[in-house]
Amino acid sequence: MPDLADLTPTFSSNFTNFVSSPNGSVGWQTTLPHNLRTLATNHELEYYSDPSVGYDPFSVQNGILDITAQPEANPDGLPYASGIITTEGSFSQLYGYFDMRAELPAGAGMWPAFWMLPANLASTREIDVMEMFGNNTLQYGVTDHSPGSGLATTNVSTPDLSQGFHDYGMYWTPTSISFYFDGKLVANMPTPADMNVPMFMLANLAIASNVNAATHFPAHMLIQSITAYAYNPNNPGPTPQLDVSHPTQISGATGQSIALSGVSIIDTDLSGAGSITADINDKSLGLLTTSPIAGVNTTGENSWNLQLSGSLPAVDAALATLTYENIPTTTTAPTQDTVTVSAADSDGNMDAERIAVSLAPGPKLSFISVGPAAIRYEASGNDVFVLTNGQIANPTTNGGQADHLIGFHSASQNPAGWDFLALHGFDPTATLVFDHDADVNGVPNGSMQYYHVASAAGNSPIFLVQMANGSTAHLVPHDYGFYPT
C-alpha cells in the first residue's frame, strides 16, 4: 500500500452525518448516471430509492452509513428497494488512491460494490475496486473495464466479509492499477492506455437475480468511510508483473481457420507452483480452438469464449496453438471482429489486451433451424444447421425418429463448400460427443453417425449426421461450434 503520508487527501467522508440529493446538487448523489435507479442490463432487482421518491434506505449511527435493502414498493415495481451513493458532479479525479471501509451483507443476491466511472460518461471505462456476491462472503472481485484493452479481473480470497469492517483500496497511476485489502497488495495490472480520464466514486448495494427464499431481509451494507488521495509521481506504485503479448491485428476470411500467432503471457512474478488462467473471447461469436496440452484445463473449446488454466508454461503452449474461425450466425457475415485475451495469475497479477480481426467474405451460407419435430434434410455443402438446447428432436417422443442431416460436407472433406452445426444455448461445459454408428440391416454404417451434446445439465437427444460421399470421418471442431443463444 502506498504510504498515505506521501499523498495529499482530496476527499473524505466519515459519515458523522449524511447529506444527499437525487442529482448530487447537495452532498452525495443517490441515483446512477442519467438519473437511473436500477441497471436493467444486469437483470438487477432493486430500485435505488431515497426520501424524494418514498422509502429512505439511508441511516447513520455512530459514524456509520447503513444502506438497507428490503422488499419495498417503488415506482418501477421492482421487488426490492436499496441505495446508491456517488460523487458524480461533486468530485472526480485522475489517478490517486481511493478507499472504502465497510462491512458487507451475506446472502444469495446480495451484490455490494465500490467502483468508479468516467466523469464525462463518454465511454464504458470502469474500475471495480470491490464487488462481492453474497452467496460467497470469502472472496470479492476486482475488475478493470477498458474499451481498448478489454476486461481484466481476478478474485481475492478473504476472511468472512460479513463479519467485520475491512478496507478496500485501489492506487491508480499512469503505469499501474493496484488493489489492496486491509492495506495488503492483492492484485496488480498495467494501466490501459485509455484509462486516463478523471473518474468519480460509487458505492451501492444491488440485488442480483439469484436472490432466493433463504436470503435474509432487511440486508445492510455498512460504510464507515470513503476517502481519496491525489497521485504522487514520487510514489509510482508497484511495477506490473504480468503482460499479455499479442498481435494488434489479424486477417482472413469467414469460414477460414486463422492462427492467432504471437499470443503469450509474460509473468515475472509467478512462482513455480503458481497457476494462471487465460480467458479468450470474441465479440462476433467466432470459434476459438486450441490443441490439447498436458496440464491445461480447458472449458469452452470450439466456442466464442475459451478458458485455459494451468501452469504458465502449459498455458503458453496451448496459446501457441490458438486458432480463430468465424462462421456467420446470420446471413450477414461480419467484416470485423475483436478477440480479447485476458489473464490472471494466482498472485493477483492480471492484464487484458484486444486483437482486431479483419474478415473477407467467405462462402454464402443458408440457415436451417432444426427441431423440435424430427426432420430429414439434404445438406447442400453451404448450410448452417442451428441446433438449440431443448429443441433437438427426441426420438422417444417422435416415434423413434431423430433429426437426420443427409449428405453433410465436412470442412476437411470439402473446404470450398461445407456444412456446419451451430449449437446454441448450451452451458460452457458442453461438448459434442459421437454416440454410435447407425445400424443398417444389421451392419454398422460408418458414414451414418449419431451424436449428442454432453453438458453439466445432462445429454441432449441423439441426432444423425450422414456424411457426404460415404465418408466415415467423424465431425471435427471446424464442423461445429457452440454459441451462447
CATH number, position 265: 2.60.40
pLDDT per residue as tens, the chain (485 positions): 778 888 999 999 989 999 999 999 999 999 999 999 999 889 999 999 999 999 999 999 999 999 999 999 999 999 999 999 999 989 999 999 999 999 999 999 999 999 999 999 987 899 999 999 999 999 999 999 998 888 899 999 999 999 999 999 999 999 999 999 999 999 999 999 999 999 999 999 999 999 999 999 999 999 999 999 999 999 889 999 999 999 999 998 887 889 999 999 999 877 666 789 999 999 888 889 999 999 999 998 888 999 999 999 999 999 999 999 888 766 667 788 899 999 999 889 999 999 999 988 877 778 888 878 888 998 888 888 999 999 999 998 888 899 999 999 987 766 667 889 999 999 888 999 999 999 888 889 999 999 999 998 899 999 999 999 899 999 988 889 898 87
Instruction: Write the pLDDT tens digit of every residue in 417-464.
Output: 788 999 999 988 899 999 999 988 888 999 999 999 999 889 999 999
User: Which residue, of 360, 394, 428, is where some domain finishes?
Assistant: 360
Contact 306, 314 (CB under 8 A): no
Phi/psi for 66 (5° steps) reads: -110, 115
pLDDT computed for residue 330 by the predictor = 67
For residue 139, give its domain range: 4-229
Q: Per the domain annotation, does 414 fall within a domain?
A: yes
Q: Are 14 and 63 a contacting pair, CB within 8 Å? A: yes
pTM of the entire predicted model: 0.84
Compute the distance between CA of residue 11 and CA of residue 362 in angstroms, rounded to an integer. Answer: 56
Q: For residue 470, give the 3-state DSSP assignment.
A: helix
Q: What is the pLDDT of residues 247-268, one digit of tens each?
A: 999 998 887 889 999 999 999 8
Residues that are catalytic: 126, 131
Single residue among 300, 327, 360 that ends a domain in this structure: 360
* DSSP letter (8 states) at residue 93: B
What share of the chain has pLDDT > 90, as a percent? 71
**Residue 89 is part of a domain; what is its CATH number?**
2.60.120.200
Last residue of a domain, one of 306, 339, 360: 360
Q: Are residues 247 and 216 in the same domain?
A: no
Kindly provide the b/e burial profile for residues 173-196, where b requires at least 16 CB atoms within 10 angstroms of the residue's own CB: beebbbbbbeeebbbbbbbbeebe
- Tell me: do 66 and 168 sit in the same domain: yes
DSSP string, 333-345: --SEEEEEEEEEE
| Residue 423 sits in the same domain as residue 297 | no
Give the span between the Cα atoms of 416 and 362, in whole angstroms. Answer: 9
50 and 173 co-located in one domain = yes
Do 111 and 96 belong to one domain?
yes
What's the angle, vertex CA 33, arms to CA 109 and CA 50, rounded to 5?
65
In the numeric block, which cell numbers belong to residue 346?
A: 494466482
Q: Does residue 297 sit in the same domain as residue 220?
A: no
* Residues 51 and 181 grouped into a single domain: yes
> Are 154 and 265 in the same domain?
no
Residues 285 and 402 in one domain: no
Does residue 235 belong to any structural domain of this protein?
A: no
392 in a domain, yes or no? yes
Q: Which residues contact 5 (CB under 8 A, 6 or more apart)?
A: none
38 and 113 both lie in a single domain? yes
Q: Count CA within 13 A, CB hemisphere, residue 37.
A: 21
236 within a domain of the structure (yes/no): no
| Exposed / middle / buried, residue 395 (Cβ in 10 Å: 0-12, 13-18, 19+) | middle
Task: Please report whether residue 234 resides in a domain.
Answer: no
Same domain for 99 and 150, yes or no, is yes
Instruction: Give whole-number Cα distances, 382 to 317, 422, 423, 424, in Å.
Output: 34, 13, 17, 19
Q: Are residues 99 and 180 located together in one domain of the fold?
A: yes
Domain count, the chain: 3
Residue 237 within any structural domain of the chain: no
